[in-house]
Amino acid sequence: MNENPRSKSTKSLSCFFLTFLILYLPASTYSQPNPTPPTGMVFIPEGYFPMGNSSGREDEKPLHFVYTKAFFIDKHEVSNAEYMKFIEVTGHAKPTFWEDETLNLPNHPVVGVSWRDAMAYAKWKGHRLPTEAEWEKSARGNDNRLWPWGRKFDKGFFFYYVNVFGEDDNYKKTAPVNYYESGASPFGLLNMSGNVWEWCLDWYDKDFYHISPELNPQGPLSNGTYKVLRGGSYLNSIDGVQVVRRSRNRPHIKNEIYGFRTVLPIP
Ligand SMILES: [Ca+2]
Ligand SMILES: [Ca+2]
């Protein structure tokens, strides 16, 4: 007896759906979409990246692999306009240079803030400062590059994508936090090289990379003298704004080349 054509087509359809379920369901079950970042922030996935430098300065060595959990980080340095809201709401003291017209434009990075001021702002936002490892991962991704965009002269003249010493890059002092789009890091963060140095959460230890834990390092456990600063500023040369460079200063110091950005941890 011939099979009913209708039942045959039903069978084929069932077969198709079964194949579809086997092939595609496991993938769609296990791959989660990246969480949506809050406005102005970027999602950085969990995972390993190479941190430090095998041939750089002593405190950048050795190159070592570090794992961080996923987190959100500000796409831009914190601007004067953003810091202004913080001052208005909390009554926190104004930064040094607040009245300096060469530094206080609303969309330029806030400067004249100490590490403690930066911590207070971050806490007010429900955020915190980035660890050194989080900062470096956000700046260079996982391919060992020394500048956010890649190699020094990847895109021709470097001054089109970073604010360093001099005015060839259009700015003698600070540049707007959303300027130099072409110098973005692999995750899309701007001014990770240059513009202003950025305070990090960690105490500075020149030998820390030799003893750093592999998972979510947060700097030396005991209190030190200096807090870490990363990325260089508008007073550095192009080599001084490599994303592996490590600088430091005491947590109460304020000057016209130190700013910051914040991180929102993902539980
Ligand atoms: Ca400049
Ligand atoms: Ca910067």
Of all ligands present, the nearest one to the C-alpha of 165 is 1
Residues 17 and 96 in one domain: no
Ligand 1 centre from 267 Cα, in Å?
38
- Mark whether 19 and 128 lie in a shared domain: no
Are 209 and 77 found together in one domain? yes
Residues 70 and 188 in one domain: yes
In a domain, 89, yes or no: yes
User: Model-level pTM?
Assistant: 0.88
Report how far residue 25's alpha carbon sits from residue 149's, in angstroms, rounded to the nearest whole number.
Answer: 37
Q: How many domains does the chain have?
A: 2
**91 plus 67 within the same structural domain:** yes
Ligand 2: centre distance to CA 21 (Å):
48
Hey, what are 56's tokens? Answer: 């750089």
Considering every ligand atom shown, identify the ligand nearest to the alpha carbon of residue 189 and give its number: 2
Helix (H, G, I), strand (E, B) or coil at 256: coil
Query: For each of the chain's 267 residues, which pLDDT tens digit applies?
Result: 344 444 444 444 444 444 444 444 444 445 678 899 999 999 999 999 999 999 999 999 999 999 999 999 999 999 999 999 999 999 999 999 999 999 999 999 999 999 999 999 999 999 999 999 999 999 999 999 999 999 887 766 777 899 999 999 999 999 999 999 999 999 999 999 999 999 999 999 999 999 999 999 999 988 899 999 999 999 999 999 999 999 999 999 999 999 999 999 998
Q: Provide the residue range defining the domain that includes 161.
A: 41-265
Q: Is residue 36 part of a domain?
A: no
State the Cα–Cα distance between residues 102 and 195, nearest whole angstrom: 14
